[in-house]
Amino acid sequence: MSRPKYPEILKDYRRILTVQDISCVGQCSLTVALPILSACGLETCILPSAVLSTHTAGFTGYTFRDLSEDIPKIEEHWCREGIKFDAVYTGYLGSTGQIDMVKSIIHSCMKEGGVAIIDPAMADNGKLYPAFDLAYVEAMRSLVAEADILLPNLTEACFLVDEPTPETYSEEDIDRILEKLAALGAKKTVLTGISYRKGKTGVVIYDDGKTDYYEHKKIANGCHGTGDVYAAAFTGCFMRGMSLYNSAMVAADYVVKCIEYTQRDPSHFYGVKFEPLLPALMSELEP
């Protein structure tokens, strides 16, 4: 049996900070971001916004501890040590007050020319998540203004631009929403879960007033945490040098494969089995 070959040393070994919660069980947030970004060959640093015993979908009686008190002290220590990041990627935050804390970290700890990737993880299927209200949405708009790349689903995008989530829509409707997100300050947007025809869905990539669309298979029964898997895979690909469009495409294909794999096990209701398919994602990053 031959020994496995070690990969060549990356010419640009990048350090990423991801800020989101730890759901100890549930395959979402940091327990998704850390392994996916690491598998993409990135030094992955974490800043937990909260600790939950499980995620909030499908479980009851879960514990929740807000870590807001620790975040300014962590930022202060990083500043003293001169620690800087090539990108700051945010997901589910523990409270409205943490949004200003994240903005401060982006300004103080991100390298010049770094990339702020904002997943406004707060809503889906036309509704806000249980922990959030309209005050959180208003605060999130200020974080959108910091975004080099914004990664919302349609519900989140509609909350951000103060529109109801439509049951049906045209390309013109989506273009209008994307233009409103740009007016909030988002430099580029990848909008997920956009379906223009039956049996298909996809992602719309908005960059400098131009839109591209990548369509893929729509799976009727999704899995919890796929948005986090998508955001992490996108960030990993983009920070390894893929284009905006190719990063959006590879991440979408990876999520579809993960959902299909997970559906083989009907008892796995609480997350998506992304780990066995990490080699498929890593292979997309090979030269």
Distance CA 51, CA 62 (A): 10
Which pLDDT value is given to residue 60?
84
Distance CA 165, CA 78 (A): 40
CA-based nearest residue to 116, from 142, 88, 92, 139: 88
CA-based nearest residue to 240, from 100, 58, 38, 90: 38
Q: Would you write out the chain's pLDDT as a tens digit for each of its 287 residues?
A: 556 655 666 678 999 999 999 999 989 899 999 999 999 999 999 999 999 998 877 788 889 899 999 999 999 999 999 999 999 999 999 899 999 999 999 999 999 999 999 999 999 999 998 889 999 999 999 999 999 999 999 999 999 999 999 999 999 999 999 999 999 999 999 999 999 998 899 999 999 999 999 999 887 666 778 999 999 999 999 999 999 999 999 999 999 999 999 988 888 888 899 999 999 999 999 87
Distance CA 238, CA 213 (A): 17
Residue 146 CA from chain centroid, whole number: 15
Distance CA 280, CA 283 (A): 5
Sequence ranges of the domains in the chain: 15-272
Amino acid at 237: C
Where does 15-272 sit in CATH, by number?
Answer: 3.40.1190.20
Is residue 225 within 8 Å of residue 189, measured between CB atoms?
Answer: no
Which pLDDT value is given to residue 93?
93
Which pLDDT value is given to residue 9?
63
- Would you state the structure tokens that stand for residue 265, as one six-digit string? 């096990």
Which pLDDT value is given to residue 76?
98
Is residue 213 within 8 Å of residue 205, measured between CB atoms?
Answer: yes
- Would you state the structure tokens that stand for residue 271, as one six-digit string? 């997350």
Is residue 216 classed as helix, strand or coil in its secondary structure? Answer: strand
